[in-house]
């Protein structure tokens, strides 16, 4: 049944792409060259997935490719020419055509050495996995599968066309791709693939941080990111790319009971994925605009990665008390710093680093709300501290409840429901998403007869604190409080 459906899906995808495949295949054939749709494009077509990017392979050399597509493509670029790849855009599709090639890494180099090939099968054997080593010859549309990729697609298995050790030696990043496919597709790596990943894990260190980062993002944004992370940790790859996550596997002490931090973090990640979808659906129903900073994209790397990393500060802060209790004081602050450091090492952009680290830092802020209750001032501070991350903080905080005690879980859920309701009520009353003092900097300088400088900043922070504590004051009351505060400041300076 699967095989018949897969071929039907493939035929349908090829028909839908005929305006691209037909002319392109004929163009190469008329010039005496072979051309085939290949790799992920074929795999995705067989699975019925979207194909926004199209990958082709050919025996034509890069200069020949450029000569053929120059007047056909809407735009083209040759940034990958030295590796045999020419990129182009045609009618909204991103297209890459690569000369048949063999590539291998020098043991001490991050850059591949490229040798061009002459036959399709020789090119396919050098691809990462059998499910990416299938092709469709054009313009004939002959399906080519020399290594059983369709069967592995049916069985949900990740295998390499040749020996796994040779494949991962050629390109160590393929080890991360195995984990990424486990996450994206829910597939299981073959035993020999896992063994090779384990034996060769250290070789990932020769790959550039940018390439590792890009694979990690795809893994975290997959359908089952927990599965991918578990594979990284089990094979030792995480020791090199995410050592903080691998370090969550704390040794258990029979005299000191505490939850398994590693398994807890994986559960939080899984729950964050589920809640991400719920919040996104709710926002759609509420008509929240796509460009609203609180709008949750699906998948959302920021909230997912924060969920995975939220407790990475625990190993460094764990202490055993004389009572037998285990504490992790300030692990939120330590974890935020460790998260930012790891993301910088992986060359993430500053904005993404700031967001993820801030969520890690804030993930404990809610606890205690249900027991002691919060004033309106505390609620305002919670919203203000979260800023554009408030919805993500809702997701992370709710996901962080993994207790098996049903009554405790229900109590925490009820408490957070109450907090969200209070935030909504206050937001309707006070526009919480843009809390500002009742007087701006210009008004402060005029009122106190001050030039721009640190004193204005201190006055601004005083008024902001008053706004947090008491809600909207109005300009007259704010001015009165500001004068009183300024008089007290000057009196203190005179005494000192």
Distance of CA 6 to CAs 10, 190, 312, 321, 378, Å? Answer: 6, 22, 42, 59, 56
In a domain, 150, yes or no: yes
Q: What does the alpha-carbon distance between residue 441 and residue 463 come to, in Å, rounded to a whole number?
A: 10
Q: What does the alpha-carbon distance between residue 129 and residue 161 come to, in Å, rounded to a whole number?
A: 6
Contact present, 430 and 397 (Cβ < 8 Å): no
Non-local (6+) Cβ contacts of 475 within 8 A are: 438, 439, 443
Q: Does 258 score more than 60 pLDDT?
A: no
Over residues 65-120, the pLDDT tens digits come to 999 998 899 999 988 898 899 999 999 999 999 999 865 556 666 566 667 878 99
Using alpha carbons only, what angle is made at residue 276 by residues 270 and 281, rounded to the nearest 5 degrees? 140
In a domain, 136, yes or no: yes
Mean pLDDT of 472-478: 82
* Range(s) of the domain holding residue 489: 441-495
Indicate if 367 and 465 belong to the same structural domain: no
Q: Does 433 score more than 80 pLDDT?
A: no
Written in H, E and C, the secondary structure of 136-159 is: EEECCCEEECCCCHHHHHHHCEEC
Contact present, 420 and 394 (Cβ < 8 Å): yes
Number of domains present in the structure of the chain: 4
Pick the closest to residue 94 from 136, 52, 42, 36 (CA basis): 52
Indicate if 397 and 486 belong to the same structural domain: no
Where among 409, 434, 459 does a domain terminate? Answer: 434
Q: Does 182 score more than 90 pLDDT?
A: yes
Where among 383, 409, 434 does a domain terminate? Answer: 434
> pTM of this prediction?
0.84
Over residues 119-131, the pLDDT tens digits come to 999 899 989 999 9
Lowest mean pLDDT among 311-320, 347-356, 444-453: 444-453
Indicate if 109 and 231 belong to the same structural domain: no
Helix and strand numbers (H, E) in the chain are 25, 13
Most confident of 194-203, 319-328, 430-439: 194-203
Indicate if 193 and 294 belong to the same structural domain: no
Q: Does 255 score more than 60 pLDDT?
A: no
Indicate if 320 and 281 belong to the same structural domain: yes
Mean pLDDT of 184-206: 97
Beta bridge partners of 135: 38, 144
In a domain, 248, yes or no: no
The most distant pair of C-alpha atoms in the chain lies apart, rounded to whole Å, by: 93
In a domain, 250, yes or no: no
Q: What is the share, in percent, of the chain residues with pLDDT greater than 90?
A: 63
Indicate if 35 and 15 belong to the same structural domain: yes
């Amino acid at each position: 049944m699967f095989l018949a459906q897969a071929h039907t899906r493939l035929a349908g995808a090829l028909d839908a792409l005929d305006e691209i495949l037909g002319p392109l295949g004929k163009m190469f054939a008329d010039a005496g060259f072979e051309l085939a749709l290949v790799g992920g494009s074929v795999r995705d077509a067989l699975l019925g997935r979207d194909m926004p990017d199209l990958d082709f392979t050919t025996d034509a050399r890069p200069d020949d490719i450029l000569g053929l597509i120059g007047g056909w493509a809407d735009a083209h670029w040759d940034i990958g020419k030295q590796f045999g790849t020419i990129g182009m855009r045609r009618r909204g599709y991103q297209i890459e055509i690569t000369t048949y090639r063999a590539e291998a890494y020098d043991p001490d180099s991050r850059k591949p050495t490229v040798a061009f090939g002459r036959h399709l099968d020789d090119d396919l054997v050098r691809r990462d996995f059998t499910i990416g080593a299938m092709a469709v010859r054009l313009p004939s549309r002959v399906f080519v599968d020399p290594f059983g990729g369709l069967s592995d697609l049916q069985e949900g298995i990740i295998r390499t066309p040749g020996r796994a050790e040779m494949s991962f030696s050629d390109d160590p990043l393929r080890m991360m791709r195995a984990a990424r496919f486990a996450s994206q597709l829910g597939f299981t790596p073959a035993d020999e693939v896992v063994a090779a990943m384990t034996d060769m894990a250290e070789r990932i260190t020769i790959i550039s941080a940018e390439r590792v980062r890009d694979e990690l993002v795809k893994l975290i944004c997959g359908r089952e990111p927990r599965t991918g992370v578990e594979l990284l940790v089990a094979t030792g790859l995480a020791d090199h790319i995410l050592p903080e996550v691998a370090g969550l596997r704390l040794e258990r002490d029979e005299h000191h009971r505490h939850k398994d931090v590693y398994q807890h973090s994986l559960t939080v990640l899984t729950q964050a994925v589920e809640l991400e979808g719920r919040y996104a659906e709710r926002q759609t129903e509420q008509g929240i605009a796509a460009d609203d900073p609180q709008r949750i994209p699906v998948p959302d790397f920021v909230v997912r990665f924060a969920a995975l990393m939220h407790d990475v500060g625990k190993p460094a802060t764990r202490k055993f008390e004389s009572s037998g209790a285990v504490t992790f004081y300030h692990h939120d602050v330590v974890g935020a710093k460790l998260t930012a450091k790891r993301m910088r090492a992986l060359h993430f952009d500053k904005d993404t680093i700031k967001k993820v680290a801030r969520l890690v830092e804030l993930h404990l802020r809610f606890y205690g709300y249900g027991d002691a209750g919060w004033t309106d001032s505390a609620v305002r501070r919670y919203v203000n501290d979260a800023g554009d991350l408030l919805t993500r903080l809702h997701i992370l905080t709710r996901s962080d409840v993994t207790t098996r005690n049903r009554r405790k879980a229900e109590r925490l859920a009820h408490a957070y429901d109450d907090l969200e309701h209070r935030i909504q009520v206050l937001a309707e009353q006070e526009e919480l998403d843009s809390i500002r003092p009742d007087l701006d900097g210009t008004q402060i300088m005029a009122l106190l007869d001050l030039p721009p400088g640190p004193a204005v900043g201190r006055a601004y922070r005083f008024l902001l604190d008053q706004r947090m504590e008491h809600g909207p004051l109005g300009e007259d009351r704010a001015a009165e409080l500001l004068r009183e505060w300024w008089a007290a400041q000057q009196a203190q300076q005179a005494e000192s």
